[in-house]
Amino acid sequence: MANATFRFHDELERFLAPAHRGRLIARDCARAATLKNAVEALGVPHTEVGRLAVNGAPATLARIVREGDAVEVFPPAPGTGTGDGPLAFIADAHLGGLARMLRMLGFDTLYDNGFHDPEIIAIAARERRIVLSRDRELLKCREIARGAYVHALKPEAQLREIAARYALERHLRPFTLCLECNLPLTEAARDVAQARIPDRIFARYARFMHCAGCNGIFWEGSHWERMRAVLAATLETAV
């Protein structure tokens, strides 16, 4: 066994048992335990760790815990969470509202309330997606390279969390994806749109969009304006 002390900073304390919050934690760690093992045993998924320092020097999660180590654990700095990979997400079954709002903003977000954890892990690894979840045990899986624990319960607050963590405002492409299929929308020829929509809608709008997945036709009507207003109010920026 190796005895080490751990100090978790800022929002990482929310993962700790109440008795461990706001204080230095002394911990006996098994021989050959890594910092990942030790940090996760205390409740913090590795996806939530931004920076580590051991005895004042930078360290990685793969470092072996040694006797007398003083470990400090920091959350990711705002806007630095993307790491080495695309800004594309996969959301677990509890985050359907968040997934829809991310799609509204133009972010590739896979969601299916039938996804099981092994599917999420496999898809995230294959497509290099960021896993969004309220299941900390899922985010502890070593196969997940990038992920975020979503603390908030309501979609608007969840979106604010993810927007801050990944600096989403820099990458907005609102209303470019189908909200149902997550596929890019393309401009529809007017004659194609005319055959699919009511005459009053066709006469009122000049531009229509098409989804190749669900074959839907879309236009920037009052429902778009309502969604735009919700997103702008949530992010406190123009959308």
Q: What is the pLDDT of residues 5-23, one digit of tens each?
A: 999 999 999 999 999 999 9
What pLDDT score was predicted for residue 82? 64
Please state whether beta strands 209-211 and 217-218 pair in parallel, antiparallel, or not at all (unpaired). Answer: antiparallel
Rg (CA), the chain: 22
Q: Which domains does the chain have, with CATH numbers?
A: 2-74 (3.10.20.30), 77-173 (3.40.50)
pLDDT over 90 (residue 203): yes
* Average pLDDT, rounded, for the chain: 94
Task: State residue 133's pLDDT score.
Answer: 98
Contact 12, 75 (CB under 8 A): yes
Average pLDDT, integer, range 142-160: 95
Please give the pLDDT value at position 81.
66
Please give the pLDDT value at position 83: 67
Q: What is the pLDDT of residue 230?
A: 87
Q: Is the pLDDT score of 220 beyond 80?
A: yes
pLDDT at residue 79, as a whole number: 82
- C-alpha span between 75 and 7 (Å, rounded): 12
Average pLDDT of the residues in 200-207 = 92
pLDDT tens, position by position, 55-113: 999 999 999 999 999 999 999 988 876 667 889 999 999 999 999 999 999 999 999 99
Which two tokens mark 107?
């972010």
The amino acid that residue 21 corresponds to is: R
Q: How confident is the model at residue 222 (pLDDT cuts 50, 70, 90)?
A: confident
Q: What is the mean pLDDT of residues 197-207?
A: 93
pLDDT tier for residue 39 given thresholds of 50, 70 and 90: very high
Contact indicator for 209, 181 with CB cutoff of 8 Å: no
Nearest to 176 by CA among 207, 132, 202, 211: 211
> What would the pLDDT profile of 170-189 be if each residue is shown by its tens digit?
899 999 999 999 999 999 99
218 sits in which H/E element: strand 217-218
The label of the residue with tokens 């608007």 reads 156
Which amino acid appears at position 217 of this protein? I
Q: What percent of the chain has pLDDT over 70?
A: 99
Tell me: pLDDT of 125 over 80. yes
From 53-57, 76-80, 116-120, 155-159, the region with the lowest mean pLDDT = 76-80
Q: Looking at residue 225, what is its pLDDT?
A: 87
